[in-house]
Chains A and B, each alone.
Chain A
Amino acid sequence: AQKITQTQPGMFVQEKEAVTLDCTYDTSDPSYGLFWYKQPSSGEMIFLIYQGSYDQQNATEGRYSLNFQKARKSANLVISASQLGDSAMYFCAMRRNYGGSQGNLIFGKGTKLSVKP
C-alpha cells in the first residue's frame, strides 16, 4: 500500500531564509508521481511542484525545489527566500502511474509552516 509520511507537524522560518519540509513515501509501484500542495487558511489546495519517479533531475518551480532521493524514498520540499505569504499548510502527496492512467492522490498529514517577519 502507498503511504506518505510528513514528520514535522509545524515549522518556523525567518523571512528571507530557506526552509526544508520533509516527506518520505512508501510504495511498491515502479512508476509514480510526487506532489507538493500549499493550503492557505482559505482551504484551497494550490499545486506547487511535481516529480516523476523516473525523472533524472530534481524538479524546480520558481522558489520551490524538490529534493528527490529515490533510494531513500524521500521527496523534500525546499522553499528559498521565504515570504510572509508562504505561511500555510503544506502537503506532500503521491499518485501511482499505471498503464496510461494515474490513480488518486494519497496525502501526508501536512506541515504547518509559519514565516516570521
Chain B
Amino acid sequence: KAGVTQTPRYLIKTRGQQVTLSCSPISGHRSVSWYQQTPGQGLQFLFEYFSETQRNKGNFPGRFSGRQFSNSRSEMNVSTLELGDSALYLCASSRQAGTDPHEQYFGPGTRLTVT
C-alpha cells in the first residue's frame, strides 16, 4: 500500500509570507504527527492530530498551526515566516494515537527554505 505522502517536497518562501504543508497518511491511519528538523535544534515535535482533534502540542509559537480533515489528511500552516523556520518538516502517521511504535511511519518530508 502507499506510504505517507507529503506535498510539496520542496518550497522556497520569503520572510513574512505564510505557507501550508500537506500530509496524507497511510490508508486506514487516523493519527498524524508533525516534526521540525533543523541543523541547530535537531528534530522537534510540533503537534499530533487524531480524528480531527489536536491531541498533543510541542513548544512552538502560535505562528505554527495545523488541522486534520475527516479523511485523516493533515495540513500545517506557518504564518509570518522567519528565516529560522527553514527546516525539513516531517509527518508521521499511525493507525491510532499512541499506538504500537512499529506502526508509525514517516513521510519523506517537505524542505522549506525561507529567504
Contacts and interface: CB of A to CB of B under 8 A. Distances in A.
A45 interface: yes
Given A50-B102, A104-B33, A109-B42, A44 B109 contact: yes
Interface string A45-72: 1110010000000000000000000000
Contact of B45 (A45, A50, A106, A108): A106
B62 interface: no
A43 B111 contact: yes
Contacts, number: 52
B98 interface: yes
Contacts of A95: 101
A14 interface: no
B88 interface: yes
A101 B109 contact: no
Interface in A1-60: 33, 35, 37, 42-47, 50
A35 B42 CA distance: 16
Nearest to A109: B42
Tell me whether chain A's interface is mostly helix, strand or loop, or mixed. strand
Given A101-B97, A107-B43, A109-B42, A43 B105 contact: no
B56 A104 contact: yes
Interface residues of A, number: 24
A33 B45 contact: no
B92 to A, nearest CB: 7
Contact of B108 (A43, A101, A107, A110): A43
Interface string B67-110: 00000000000000000000010101000011101101111110
A104 B42 contact: no
Contacts of A106: 45
Interface of A: 33, 35, 37, 42-47, 50, 91, 93, 95, 100-110
Interface of B: 33, 35, 42-45, 48, 56, 58, 88, 90, 92, 97-99, 101-102, 104-109, 111
